[in-house]
Amino acid sequence: MSRRRKDGVLEYVGRVDHQVKIRGYRIELGEIETRLLEHPAIRESVVLDVDGPLGKVLAAYLVPRSATQDHEALRDEVKSHLKSSLPDYMVPTHLVLLEAMPLTPNGKLDRKALPAPDV
C-alpha cells in the first residue's frame, strides 16, 4: 500500500495483506491460521510476527474449543500438527492460548490488545 504525499512523492506505507518476511522467507500468515483451524481442538486462531531477541518470530494466538484441555499437551499437539503440514520456517515459535480473542467495539479482532508472548 502506498500514498501520495502533498509534494507528489509516492510513499510506501506497508502491505494490505498479512504477508511477512522472516529470516528471508516470505510467509502468508493466513496459511498458518488455516492449518491451525484444521486441528479439531482449535476454535479460533490468529498469527502475528512479533519482535524476539534475535529478530522477528511468529506467534500464534489460539482459542481452544474446550477450556478444560491441558494447555501444555495442546501446544505439543498443535506444534506436531503444524510440523506435519508446513515447512519449519512457518511453524510459530510461540503458541499463546486465550479464553477469547480481544475484539474492538466494532467486533473486529483487536490485534494490538493481544498479549505479548513470553520471548
> What is the predicted pLDDT for the residue at 15?
47
pLDDT surpassing 60 at residue 50? yes
In whole angstroms, give the CA distance from residue 19 to residue 31: 10
Mean pLDDT of the chain: 90
Model pTM?
Answer: 0.82
Least trusted range by pLDDT, from 3-17, 23-37, 63-77 = 3-17
In whole angstroms, give the CA distance from residue 118 to residue 21: 21
Residue % of the chain over a pLDDT of 90: 76
Domain spans of the chain? Answer: 18-107
- Helix 71-85 × helix 29-37 angle, to 10°: 120
Question: How many residues in total does the chain contain?
Answer: 119
> What is the predicted pLDDT for the residue at 1?
53
Given the candidates 3.40.250.10, 3.30.300.30, 3.90.1660.10, 3.50.50.60, the CATH classification of the domain at 18-107 is 3.30.300.30
In whole angstroms, give the CA distance from residue 55 to residue 112: 19
Whose cell is 510440523? That residue is 83
Which tens digit of pLDDT belongs to each residue from 21-36? 999 999 999 999 999 9
